[in-house]
Every structure is written in C-alpha cells, then in structure tokens.
C-alpha cells in the first residue's frame, strides 16, 4: 500500500488452505491421529502417539474420496472407504422432468444411495397436493439403468487398471476408477434389495385385493341364492 493510501479491509476465507514447506512432504494415512497447532507466528504438527527415531511421520488429509484426493493432492488410494460417485439424475414423467442433484453415492456413511435421490422420482410422480410419496418399481428400474450404464462405461478399462504399476499416475487413476466401480456395484446391490422388497409388497397388495374381490363375489352369490 502506497504512502497515504488507505489500507484495504481485512478479509478472511474460511477453510482456505495454504502451502507449508516441509509439512507438505508428509504422506496421507487415513485415521492417523495428529493435531495442528498455530499461534505466536508459528505452526506446529503433533502426533498423538509416540514416534520412534527413523519412523515415518504421516499426515491426515481427512475423510476424502479419491476424486477429492486426485483433485487437491494428485494421488488416489486403493480401497478408499470414502469413495463416492457424484452426479445428477434427470427424472422424467408424462409432463414434467426434474433434475435431481448433485448427489453422491457411497461415502462410507453406511447407506450407499442417498435418500434425496430416491425422493426425486416420487416428487415428479405426485398428481395432487398432499398425495403420499411412493417410489414405484419403474422408478427403481430407472435408477438401476443409470447406475448400470455408468458402470458399463468403466468396465472397459478394468483390465488395464489392474495392470497399472503402483505409485504411478496411471495407478492413481486406476484406484479412482476402481472406487467408482465398487460404489456403483454396491448401489446396484442396494437397489436390488429395494426392488425385491417393493415387488414383494406389491404382490401382497394384489393378493389382498384379489381376496377382497373374491369375498365380495361370494357374498353377492349368497345373496342371490337366498333371494331366489
């Protein structure tokens, strides 16, 4: 700032990272117990457990998917439990369509398919205010087609990915694609369970309706007999 000029107002970017010489050389290891301390014009890196001489020190970049690790740090890990498949899903109905997303499958939180992705088709199918949301078998099949199509596009490189030399850029890309395939297969398996449960529910409803209709017919027949 030149002499006599007014200094610009102070700004703060929440969550903005920075480069730290030496510290940035530490490799990432999921679950590593570390602590960052800053103050007095210095930054300190502390390990929660005792470290022996000559032992490698690890950093912990947090619960990041391979997509995030590749984008921010230039590497990816095999069998990353935090892997996600991200995207949008367009739901079509007779007169309407809805773009659902962005959504993330997986992430290591337990459920593979997020609830908001299942709600989208139900909202499009609503015909009147106050109508109860209901996910149809067609909706589940539509999601399955989208997941399967994305998985099919990743199967073309599966053999090459398995042959990639570890520690190379090719292997990092292979780990990313492996994670995508793993999450999509898990999503398809979860969807198959939902489809089986929904199909069983519909069969039970159909049987109940048939039983009710049969009972009504029997009552009608008994009435006619008594009248005659």
Tell me, letter by letter, the H, E, C secondary structure of 43-78: EEEEECCCCCCCCCCEECCCCCCHHHHHHHHCCCCC
Residue 80 clears pLDDT 50, i.e. is over it = yes
In terms of DSSP H, where are the helices of 17-168?
66-73, 115-125, 137-155, 158-162
Q: How confident is the model at residue 226 (pLDDT cuts 50, 70, 90)?
A: very low
DSSP state of 134: -
Task: Report the chain's mean pLDDT, rounded to a whole number.
Answer: 79
Residue 1 clears pLDDT 60, i.e. is over it = no
The helix (H) or strand (E) run that includes residue 189 is helix 169-227
d(CA 175, CA 80): 8
> Do the Cβ atoms of 10 and 3 come closer than 8 Å?
no
Q: Which residue has the higher pLDDT, 111 or 218?
A: 111
Q: How confident is the model at residue 2 (pLDDT cuts 50, 70, 90)?
A: very low
Residue 124: per-residue pLDDT: 65
Q: What value does the mean pLDDT take over residues 29-38?
A: 89
Q: Closest by alpha carbon to 185, among 150, 137, 135?
A: 150
Is 114 buried (19+), middle (13-18) or exposed (0-12) by CB count in 10 A? middle
Residue 29 clears pLDDT 80, i.e. is over it = yes
Residue 18: per-residue pLDDT: 73
Residue 36 clears pLDDT 70, i.e. is over it = yes
d(CA 149, CA 140): 14
Q: What value does the mean pLDDT take over residues 187-203?
A: 85
Residue 166 clears pLDDT 70, i.e. is over it = yes
Residue 185 clears pLDDT 90, i.e. is over it = yes
Residue 90: per-residue pLDDT: 78
Q: Which residue has the higher pLDDT, 204 or 58?
A: 58
pLDDT tens, position by position, 90-133? 776 656 677 777 889 998 878 899 888 887 777 766 666 666 76
C-alpha torsion sign, points 124, 205, 138, 154: positive
Residue 204: per-residue pLDDT: 60
> Do the Cβ atoms of 139 and 121 come closer than 8 Å?
yes
Residue 164: per-residue pLDDT: 95
Residue 172 clears pLDDT 90, i.e. is over it = yes
d(CA 98, CA 90): 6
């Amino acid at each position: 700032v030149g002499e006599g000029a007014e200094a610009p107002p102070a700004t703060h970017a929440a969550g903005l990272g920075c480069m730290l010489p030496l510290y940035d050389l530490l490799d990432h290891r999921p679950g590593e117990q570390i602590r960052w301390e800053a103050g007095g014009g210095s930054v300190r890196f502390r390990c929660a457990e005792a470290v022996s001489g000559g032992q490698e020190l690890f950093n912990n970049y947090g619960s990041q998917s391979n997509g995030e690790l590749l984008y921010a740090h230039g590497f990816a890990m095999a069998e990353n439990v935090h892997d996600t498949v991200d995207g949008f899903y367009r739901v079509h109905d007779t007169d309407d369509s809805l773009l659902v997303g962005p959504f993330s499958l997986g992430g290591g939180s337990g459920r593979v398919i997020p609830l908001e992705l299942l709600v989208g088709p139900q909202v499009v199918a609503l015909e009147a205010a106050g109508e109860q949301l209901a996910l149809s078998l067609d909706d589940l099949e539509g999601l399955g087609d989208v997941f399967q199509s994305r998985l099919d596009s990743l199967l073309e490189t599966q053999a090459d990915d398995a042959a990639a030399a570890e520690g190379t850029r090719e292997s990092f890309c292979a780990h990313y694609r492996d994670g995508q395939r793993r999450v999509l297969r898990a999503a398809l398996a979860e969807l198959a369970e939902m489809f089986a449960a929904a199909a069983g529910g519909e069969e039970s409803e159909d049987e109940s309706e048939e039983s009710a209709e049969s009972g009504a017919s029997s009552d009608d027949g008994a009435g006619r007999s008594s009248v005659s």
